[in-house]
Structure 1
Amino acid sequence: MDNEQEIMTVSQVAEYLQISEVTTYKLVQEGRIPGFKIGRHWRVRKEDLREHIRKLQHGEHL
């Protein structure tokens, strides 16, 4: 079993993408990075993020 986190925090997504937490939070809030809220906290599924990156690499505008 792969030991990577399946669900990522905004902080983890920011580190993964090498961008600031403020920018990451804004992109998730705007729906430009796929995420969901648990209570007041945003979370991102790693596989959703990878798929989103694949689409961006292929020139799809989301």
Structure 2
Amino acid sequence: MSEMDDRWLSVDEISQYLGVSSDTVYRWIDKQGMPAHRMGRLWKFKKDEVDEWVKGGGAADRSKMNEQEE
């Protein structure tokens, strides 16, 4: 893995990588425990941490999951 592959990603970069809006990223941080690190006023992300979170179902829409359980 090159040094560039392991760098910290911004909200814009991670939202583009995941194919979602930056508003969705902020919502996931707040409501669904998306792995993010605060650096001053900015949120930063490690791609491998986010990949594991997505694979583990972290990005699943919990409201839809709750409807299916009922």
**TM-score, length-scaled by structure 2:** 0.66
Q: CA deviation at 1:40?
A: 0.9
Q: Count how many residue pairs are aligned between Structure 1 and Structure 2.
A: 59
**What is the CA RMSD across the aligned residues, in angstroms?**
2.4
Quote the residue 1:56 is aligned against.
57
- Percent identity, aligned pairs only, is 22
**TM-score, length-scaled by structure 1:** 0.73
Gapped regions of structure 1 (runs ≥ 5)? none
- Equivalent positions of 1:9-28 (< 5 A) are 9-28=10-29
Gapped regions of structure 2 (runs ≥ 5)? 63-70
Q: Which has the higher strand share?
A: 1
Runs of 4+ in 1 over 3 A off after TM superposition: none
